[in-house]
Amino acid sequence: MSTAREEIAHTAARLVVEEGLEYGPAKRRAIKQLGLSTRAELPDNDLLEDAVREYLSLFCADTQPGELRALREAAVVWMERLAEFRPHLTGAVWRGTATRLNDIHLQLYCDDSKSAEILLLNKGIDYDVGSAPGPRGSMVDRLSLTIPCPALGEPVGLHLSILDADDLRGALKPDARGRSERGDLAALQRLLNEDAA
């Protein structure tokens, strides 16, 4: 592995933790900060995640576990509210690398793509509509809202990616390291119980 890739990974990891950036933007900003060519070989997400975990253990060991638990508890509340859409948690909150700067990302598996919007409208919840990459490379609707996080004492972002009900098949397939990219409410509750033990 090249030293430049490691240096990019460590710089990007700092940006992920300290500024709450997603992996892609963090890698691009790290290249700029290091003064490297835009053609530099980027670290893969596994290498970056390892660097993020290392950074967290060195600099955030006293605060990050509590912040992660707070975000996971907020995710539970919304997964219960949105249970009819078979919500799955993904991103840093699922992977266990989140801090108070990270948003919560849920994937909703809907028979009707507008049904989640209708539910939010009926409950009087404000949201913004955007898009995000979907499981097959196409763009999907993403509903973004700000929710209270009582345990942190501040609001956090919640993003709901609207996926087709058929996309749930294969969604829990493990990655190369044997980890799932997402988890349902029962899986999240197991994580919370393991952390409490």
Asked if 74 and 47 sit in the same domain, the reply is no
In the sheet with 104-110, reading across from the earlier edge strand, the strands are: 128-133, 139-149, 154-164, 104-110, 88-90, 182-183
Q: What is the pTM of this model?
A: 0.91
- Same domain flag for 171 and 74: yes
At 187 the pLDDT is 92
CATH number of the domain residue 92 falls in: 3.30.460
How many whole angstroms from its chain centre is CA 111? 23
pLDDT of residue 137: 78
Residues 77 and 24 in one domain: no
Q: Mean per-residue pLDDT for 58-81?
A: 97
Per the model's pLDDT, the better-predicted residue between 167 and 164 turns out to be 164
- Are residues 43 and 110 both part of a single domain? no
Question: pLDDT averaged over the chain?
Answer: 92
- How many domains does the chain fold into? 2
On the question of pLDDT at 175 being above 70, the answer is no
Alpha carbon 28 to its chain centroid, in Å, reads 18
Note down the domain range covering 158: 64-196
93 and 190 belong to one structural domain: yes
pLDDT over threshold 50, residue 1: no
Domain boundary among 29, 59, 89: 59
The domain boundary residue, chosen from 14, 41, 59: 59
Determine what percent of the chain is predicted with pLDDT higher than 90: 79
Same domain, 69 and 156: yes
Q: What is the pLDDT of residue 3?
A: 86
How far from 162 is each of 73, 86, 112, 116, CA to CA, in Å? 21, 11, 9, 8
Q: Are residues 80 and 156 in the same domain?
A: yes
138 and 181 co-located in one domain? yes
What would the mean pLDDT of 135-160 be, rounded to a whole number?
Answer: 93
Q: Within this chain, do residues 81 and 48 fall inside the same structural domain, yes or no? A: no
* pLDDT greater than 70 at residue 71: yes
Rounded CA separation 155/148 (Å): 4
> What does the pLDDT read at residue 59?
96
Reply yes or no on whether the pLDDT at 20 is more than 80.
Answer: yes
Q: Are 156 and 74 in contact (CB under 8 A)?
A: yes
How confident is the model over 103-118, as a mean pLDDT? 93
Same domain, 84 and 48: no
Most confident listed range (96-110, 133-147, 166-180): 96-110
Q: Average pLDDT in the 112-141 region?
A: 90
Q: 157 vs 40, which has greater pLDDT?
A: 157
**Average pLDDT of span 44-59:** 95
Let me know whether 165 and 103 are in one domain: yes
Residues 68 and 162 occupy one common structural domain? yes
- pLDDT over 90 (residue 142): yes
- Of 59, 78, 97, the domain-final residue: 59
